Amino acid sequence: MSILVINAGSSSLKFGLFDAEAQQTLATGLIDWRVNPQQAELAIHPSGGEPICSRESITDHRTAVLHAVNKLSSLSSFYPSHSGGDKGEREAAPAVTMVGHRVVHGGTRFHEPVRIDANVKKEIAQLVELAPLHNPAALEAIEAAESVLPHVPHVAAFDTSFFASLEPRAYVYPAPYTWFHAWGIRRFGFHGISHAYCAGRAAELMNRQPPELRLIVCHLGNGCSVSAIRSGRAVQTSMGFTPLEGLMMGTRVGSLDPGILLYVQRQKKLSVDQVDHALNHESGLLGISGVSSDYRQVKAAADEGDERARLALTIFADRIRATIGAYAVALGGVDAVVFTAGIGEHAADLRAAVCEGLQILGLRLDVSRNAACTPDADIACPDSPGRILVIRTQEELMIAREILKRGG
């Protein structure tokens, strides 16, 4: 028996298959159609087996879920051996006993995993405007999964849940108080599932208990966020009311003088929709470099002498470093900085750029360890007072454990 977890990104789908107690990973997979929807890359890595790779025509999350389930159904862990060879018969008795779904924005309503029903889907839909790149994708993936696995519970886990522990000093904006009190405008924070996993894993790697630690977790992918964690609880986070605030990202702007938004609407006559599109889809690494939202492509262009690409990488590293510095002060010191997600786990050059100057915080990078590391690893110098960790985030595993903890 197993748990299937589906993690819908803006133009990708991650998924994982886990044993019934979420202790063992049976398979992981990724479908990515950002570059070419007609030649989307599908890869499944069964535990202890040969990878299953193919290229498919995939343009939306519904199609991606159907392909993922179809490919997973060939694994013995997905359907019981006694269910026969006919697919219809196998679907009548799936070995999958629960399906977990990552949902980015849970608002103030959802602070823990919840069984999905029509009302839950309606409330997720009401938050679409606050997470326009992700909540629609999650809803599409949920309905597709329900159509192929209709007889098992589907449970939503929310990225915002980990930040429910924030105090008012961290989540109330200094705007008119009625905006918060009457309209619910506040900081929510995102990537919480990843931040929570990395906090626990960091404690394991350091052989310390979470209550002893002051951690700064840098989740750096197409979306980026930093959190300050004390005693296993988040006390600060860089994303806010929506996933637009904070660090510069692949296509998202991050923190920006709000006066600029008033200026481009009043003086340059941009509509609200035009501003929305620019901030979410035309900014960040793509907006500065003019090359790509993909860090690897921007880095390649910078290496070839492209000045705008170099500027994009410099701003990217500077903003991460500045946030680490601010959060170290908020925590009263830092025991470890964690790099995670696609860029954080794989871009040694970015880690080196971010760590330049952090020696003042007791964080000394070992250049050779950084260049050679594979997650999970400590890349700080042996005598560094604070540790620098690279951790492979496992959001799907964390979701499986969370939904089990809540009893589905």
With tokens 């997973």, the residue in question is 72
Sign of torsion over alpha carbons 55, 12, 197, 356: positive
* Residue 312: both structure tokens together: 């994009």
* Residue 285: both structure tokens together: 């690494």
What is the maximal distance between C-alpha atoms in the chain?
Answer: 69
The strand order across the sheet containing 52-56 reads 52-56, 40-46, 25-32, 12-19, 2-8, 96-103, 154-158, 114-115
**Where do the H-state alpha helices sit in 115-191?**
118-126, 135-148, 168-171, 177-183
Looking from the CA of 117 toward its CB, the CA atoms found within 13 Å total: 4
* Residue 7: both structure tokens together: 């993690």
Three-class HEC string of 267-300: CCCCCHHHHHHHHHHCCHHHHHHCCCCCHHHHHH
List 32, 86, 117, 159, catalytic entry? 159
Interatomic CA distance for residues 290 and 238, integer angstroms: 25
Three-class HEC string of 77-128: CCCCHHHCCCHHHHHHCCCEEEEEEEECCCCCCCCCCEECCHHHHHHHHHCH
Looking from the CA of 13 toward its CB, the CA atoms found within 13 Å total: 33
130 phi/psi in degrees, rounded to 5: -85, -15
Measured at the alpha carbon of residue 368, what is the angle toward residues 365 and 369, in degrees to the nearest 5?
A: 65
Q: Which amino acid is at 82?
A: H
Interatomic CA distance for residues 42 and 58, integer angstroms: 10
Decide if 159 is catalytic. yes
* Residue 206: both structure tokens together: 């350091």
Active site residues: 159
